């Protein structure tokens, strides 16, 4: 195999430039395959030459102090698109950067390059990738202290009014969008029904007693207190306990404690007005009344005659 000649800066000589595009011989291919099969990192590599490395490192490197053109950068970027680093390579990069402190100049360069790249805002795909990477991760105390320290140094410990407005805007927009959704009756019924089914608390004990009484006496009422039917009021939506469509009657079973509270009394007034608006008459059975089943049965019979 012919030795490749280079100049003092490690660049190809004119003689070697003419050889560009030529193919390796079978013998060269064998030697390269043997080298690539083993672990030839650093000084283990038979082609390792410390003198050449010294000549090519730092200020001696032929590209030191020069900048690539935008066209070249774009070519490099396109050539690397779609390529993924192996876990081993990632680990090596991580170990190489461990313990190294970045200078303020370097940080500023990184910031400026990011600003150039995302001058029209960060793409949604990139945002989603970053979100997924950081999902579930918790910052260590050391990292939190570092962030606070840099904020104090830069005088940005608390967010500016401008930042506060920016942060507030999306949450306000979300609230408005959510409010509009809840104005739709079908969406409201569906969501409230899902909440009730998720709680799995209905029917409660007094309601179960009522269900047994209705079945026993064959009263024309169905249990709907699990979020099956909703009536939209002025400020609230109401889900009755028992409903009969013919005649249009509703039975509500009120707990002695909860429905005697001031806030509940106000809501219950609106509840009765709402049912009445839809053409339904309402009978209220209190929890303590269920101790006397005959009294409750007579009360329902009288209510059905109305």
Query: Would you tell me how many other CB atoms lie within 10 Å of the CB of residue 254?
Result: 18
**Cis omega (within 30 of 0) for bond into 27:** no
244 and 286 belong to one structural domain? yes
**pLDDT tens digits along 20-49:** 566 777 877 776 776 665 555 555 565 566
Last residue of a domain, one of 151, 184, 201: 201
Residue 228 lies inside a defined structural domain of this protein = yes
**pLDDT tens digits along 217-267:** 999 999 988 878 888 888 888 889 999 988 899 999 999 988 998 888 999
Helix-, strand-, coil-residue percentages of the chain, each rounded to 5 = 60, 10, 35
The H or E element that residue 69 is part of is none
Distance CA 98, CA 86 (A): 18
178 and 271 belong to one structural domain? no
Last residue of a domain, one of 176, 201, 226: 201
**Overall number of domains in the chain:** 2
Residue 192 lies inside a defined structural domain of this protein = yes
The DSSP bridge partners found for residue 252 are: 284
pLDDT of residue 284: 95
196 and 288 belong to one structural domain? no
Residues 6+ apart with CB under 8 A from 212: none
Q: Which tokens sit at 251?
A: 């039975």
Q: Name which of 272, 264, 224 is nearest 244 in CA terms.
A: 224
Residues 6+ apart with CB under 8 A from 220: 244, 246, 304
Burial class (CB in 10 A: 0-12, 13-18, 19+), 302: exposed
Contact 213, 179 (CB under 8 A): no
Distance CA 42, CA 243 (A): 83
Between β-strands 242-244 and 237-238, what pairing exists: parallel, antiparallel or unpaired?
unpaired
Which residues, given as ranges, of the chain have pLDDT below 50? 1
Residue entry with tokens 């590599």:
45
296 and 235 belong to one structural domain? yes
Contact 253, 287 (CB under 8 A): yes
216 and 299 belong to one structural domain? yes
pLDDT of residue 179: 76
pLDDT of residue 128: 83
- Give the three-state DSSP class for 130: helix
Residue 214 lies inside a defined structural domain of this protein = yes
Distance CA 11, CA 4 (A): 10
pLDDT of residue 191: 77
191 and 215 belong to one structural domain? no
Residue entry with tokens 């840099």:
150
Residue 125 lies inside a defined structural domain of this protein = no
Distance CA 214, CA 253 (A): 13
Q: What is the pTM of this model?
A: 0.41
246 and 282 belong to one structural domain? yes
175 and 242 belong to one structural domain? no
225 and 294 belong to one structural domain? yes
184 and 260 belong to one structural domain? no
pLDDT of residue 18: 53
Residue 103 lies inside a defined structural domain of this protein = no
187 and 259 belong to one structural domain? no
Q: Which domain holds residue 192?
A: 163-201
298 and 237 belong to one structural domain? yes
Residues 6+ apart with CB under 8 A from 7: 13
Residue 269 lies inside a defined structural domain of this protein = yes
Specify the CATH number for the domain of residue 209.
3.40.960.10
């Amino acid at each position: 195999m012919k030795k490749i000649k280079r100049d003092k800066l490690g660049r190809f000589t004119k003689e070697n430039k003419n050889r560009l595009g030529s193919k390796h011989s079978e013998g060269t291919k064998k030697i390269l395959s043997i080298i690539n099969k083993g672990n030839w990192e650093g000084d283990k590599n038979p082609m390792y030459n410390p003198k050449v490395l010294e000549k090519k490192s730092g200020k001696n490197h032929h590209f030191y102090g020069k900048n690539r053109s935008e066209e070249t950068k774009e070519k490099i970027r396109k050539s690397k698109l779609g390529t993924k680093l192996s876990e081993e390579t990632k680990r090596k990069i991580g170990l190489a950067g461990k313990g190294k402190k970045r200078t303020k100049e370097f940080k500023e360069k990184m910031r400026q390059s990011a600003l150039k790249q995302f001058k029209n805002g960060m793409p949604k795909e990139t945002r989603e990738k970053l979100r997924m990477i950081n999902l579930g991760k918790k910052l260590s105390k050391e990292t939190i202290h570092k962030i606070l320290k840099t904020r104090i140094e830069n005088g940005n410990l608390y967010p500016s009014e401008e930042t506060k407005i920016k942060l507030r805007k999306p949450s306000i927009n979300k609230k408005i969008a959510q409010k509009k959704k809840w104005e739709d009756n079908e969406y409201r019924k569906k969501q409230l029904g899902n909440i009730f089914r998720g709680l799995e608390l209905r029917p409660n004990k007094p309601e179960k007693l009522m269900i047994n009484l209705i079945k026993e006496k064959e009263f024309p009422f169905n249990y709907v207190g699990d979020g099956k039917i909703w009536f939209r009021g002025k400020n609230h939506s109401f889900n009755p306990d028992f409903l009969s469509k013919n005649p249009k009657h509703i039975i509500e079973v009120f707990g002695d404690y909860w429905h005697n509270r001031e806030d509940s009394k106000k809501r219950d007034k609106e509840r009765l007005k709402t049912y009445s608006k839809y053409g339904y008459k309402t009978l209220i059975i209190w929890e303590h009344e269920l101790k006397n089943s005959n009294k409750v049965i007579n009360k329902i019979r009288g209510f059905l005659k109305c």
